[in-house]
Amino acid sequence: DQQVKQNSPSLSVQEGRISILNCDYTNSMFDYFLWYKKYPAEGPTFLISISSIKDKNEDGRFTVFLNKSAKHLSLHIVPSQPGDSAVYFCAARGVWGKLQFGAGTQVVVTP
């Protein structure tokens, strides 16, 4: 039973435009949400996180929004750059600090 879902397996966006990645969750006990970025043949790397008590966190070109009532979070990348082409995983922290991951969204940034 997947408690973290990324329903869009892929996203194509033009360079310079905004990328919006979405993530839904079912467990209201998650206390932190994280986004990871993964390039081919590499391990995932941490990108940005947000506490469940906040609704927005920003770090440079990356902003994560959390809507607790809807159990939904999104990652905005503005402006998108070619180096942003990667798989992005949404993750949520639950009991004992264990992370549960979504299936990932492949982002392709085109010139």
| One residue of 46, 54, 81, 110 binding another protein per CB under 8 A | 46
Q: Detail the DSSP E strand segments found in the chain.
A: 4-5, 10-14, 19-25, 32-38, 45-51, 56-59, 62-67, 72-77, 86-93, 99-101, 105-110
Q: How far is the CB of 3 from another protein (least distance, A)?
A: 10
Residue 30's H or E segment, with its range, is none
Q: How far is the CB of 50 from another protein (least distance, A)?
A: 9
Q: How far is the CB of 15 from another protein (least distance, A)?
A: 27
Whichever of 40 and 83 has its CB closer to another protein, that residue is: 40
Whichever of 62 and 101 has its CB closer to another protein, that residue is: 101
